């Protein structure tokens, strides 16, 4: 039996090394994982209570419409309930978009390096992929605009961008959206939105009224600390959501995930605290980089990409042997850099001290 030819050279997504594997490989008791941009402070205390209350209903299918969560989220965002689509993480919403729009006669435009699942899902749909190199770590929106033609169906803008942490500012994004043809879908992936502190970060929800071809992606995996439960969402114009809904699998988000997300959404004080502590953590890394004369991109996410001017895989291995898991930039398009998740103050101090010793 033969699978689609485009799958033959496609590799599955490679996540960061799991804690259990590193413990076993190096005989370590304590591991600090700073590889997958998880929230070091976990999730709101309200989440645990919501999950405990939901456990008695495990034999029941979830609400395929996510009605309670939909109502609460639409109220918080100031959008209509029909403007939301939920996914098994925002990853699945990426897959839904690709399934709904892309085929062998179309192309899709994205930055490089950026979140790899845009490319991955486009390959599966046999679409042409047009990758535009980052400019000083940021999306080159002018070059991306030039890459659009009559066969372009989807353009991806990851902001803050993974793995650089950079973002598209309000003025440049305004100019870009005004110039993109109305028949091209622009996806603004804001997985790290809750961590953003930049004053000129655009209010993208406001774009939805002016641009029916805009869709925003967000998630409960990062700042909300629900990565293991896999729940994210897309926001778009009502008719757009209605048209792509048939590509969504039934019951794609679990009862527990919906209950946890609803509780997490209700605790914005926790999110505010995480945002502030993340900002302080980034400052720890900025000071380290300046002290060691290392290049880095100022980040609006909960991670930082640092150029060590050394083989990233070698550095990654040395940290791993000491029980610290990060992401090697070699797999992300930055062969001399490491992407490090911002941990707690103590975790940041520990890995910074270790890096100073190694360097």
137/5: higher pLDDT: 137
| pLDDT over 90 at 109, yes or no | yes
Give residues with Cβ within 8 angstroms of 272, minimum separation 6. none
Yes or no: say if 155 and 184 are a contact pair by the CB < 8 Å rule. yes
Which CATH class for the 5-43+269-358 domain? alpha beta
pLDDT for 27 equals 85
pLDDT at 16: 67
CB burial of 154-183 (b: ≥16 within 10 Å; e: otherwise) equals bbbbbbbbbbbbbbbbeebbeebbeebeee
* Mean pLDDT over each residue of the chain, to the nearest integer: 96
Mark out the alpha helices in 27-89 (DSSP H runs): 45-54, 67-77
pLDDT tops 90 at residue 13: no
In the structure, what pLDDT confidence band is assigned to residue 225 with cuts at 50, 70 and 90? very high
User: Would you state the pLDDT for residue 268?
Assistant: 98
Residue 9 has a pLDDT of 80
List the chain domain ranges.
Answer: 5-43+269-358, 45-266
Does 212 or 4 have the greater pLDDT score? 212
With 90 as the cut, is the pLDDT of residue 83 above it?
A: yes
Residue 196 is predicted with a pLDDT of 98
* Mean pLDDT in residue range 161-189: 98
**Residue 330: closest CA among 163, 157, 165:** 163
CATH architecture for the domain at 45-266: 3-Layer(aba) Sandwich (3.40)
What are the angstrom distances between the C-alpha of 258 and each of 193, 226, 242, 298?
Answer: 20, 10, 21, 33
Q: What is the mean pLDDT of residues 133-155?
A: 98
With 0.85 as the threshold, say if the pTM is over it: yes
CB 281 within 8 A of CB 145: no
List, for residues 63-75, the tens digit of each pLDDT value.
999 999 999 999 9
């Amino acid at each position: 039996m033969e699978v689609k030819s485009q799958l033959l050279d496609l590799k599955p997504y490679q996540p960061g090394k799991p804690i259990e594997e590193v413990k076993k490989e190096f005989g370590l008791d304590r591991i600090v994982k700073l590889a997958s941009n998880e929230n070091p402070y976990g999730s709101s205390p309200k989440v645990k209570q919501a999950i405990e209350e939901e456990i008695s209903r495990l034999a029941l299918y979830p609400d395929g419409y996510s009605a309670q969560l939909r109502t609460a989220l639409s109220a918080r965002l100031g959008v209509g309930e029909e403007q939301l689509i939920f996914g098994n993480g925002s990853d699945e919403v990426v897959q839904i978009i690709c399934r709904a729009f892309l085929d062998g006669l179309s192309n899709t435009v994205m930055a490089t390096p950026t979140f790899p699942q845009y490319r991955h899902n486009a390959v599966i749909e046999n679409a042409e992929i047009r990758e535009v190199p980052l400019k000083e770590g940021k999306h080159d929106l002018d070059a991306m605009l030039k890459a659009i033609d009559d066969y372009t169906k989807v353009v991806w803008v990851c902001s803050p961008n993974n793995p650089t942490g950079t973002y598209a500012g309000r003025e440049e994004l305004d100019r870009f959206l005004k110039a993109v043809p109305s028949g091209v879908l622009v996806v603004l992936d804001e997985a790290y939105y809750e961590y953003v502190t930049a004053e000129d970060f655009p209010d993208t929800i406001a774009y939805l009224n002016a641009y029916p071809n805009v869709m925003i992606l967000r998630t409960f995996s990062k700042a909300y600390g629900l990565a293991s439960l896999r729940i994210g969402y897309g926001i778009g114009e009502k008719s757009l959501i209605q048209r792509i809904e048939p590509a969504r699998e039934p019951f794609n988000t679990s009862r527990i995930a919906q209950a946890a997300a609803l509780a997490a959404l209700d605790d914005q004080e926790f999110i505010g605290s995480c945002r502030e502590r993340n900002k302080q953590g980034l400052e720890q890394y900025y000071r380290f980089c300046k002290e060691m004369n290392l290049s880095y991109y100022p980040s609006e996410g909960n991670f930082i990409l640092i150029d060590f001017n050394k083989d990233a895989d070698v550095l990654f291995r040395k940290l791993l042997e000491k029980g610290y898991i990060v992401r090697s930039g070699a797999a992300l398009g930055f062969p001399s850099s490491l992407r490090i998740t911002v941990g707690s103050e103590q975790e940041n101090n520990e890995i910074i001290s270790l890096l100073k010793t190694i360097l």
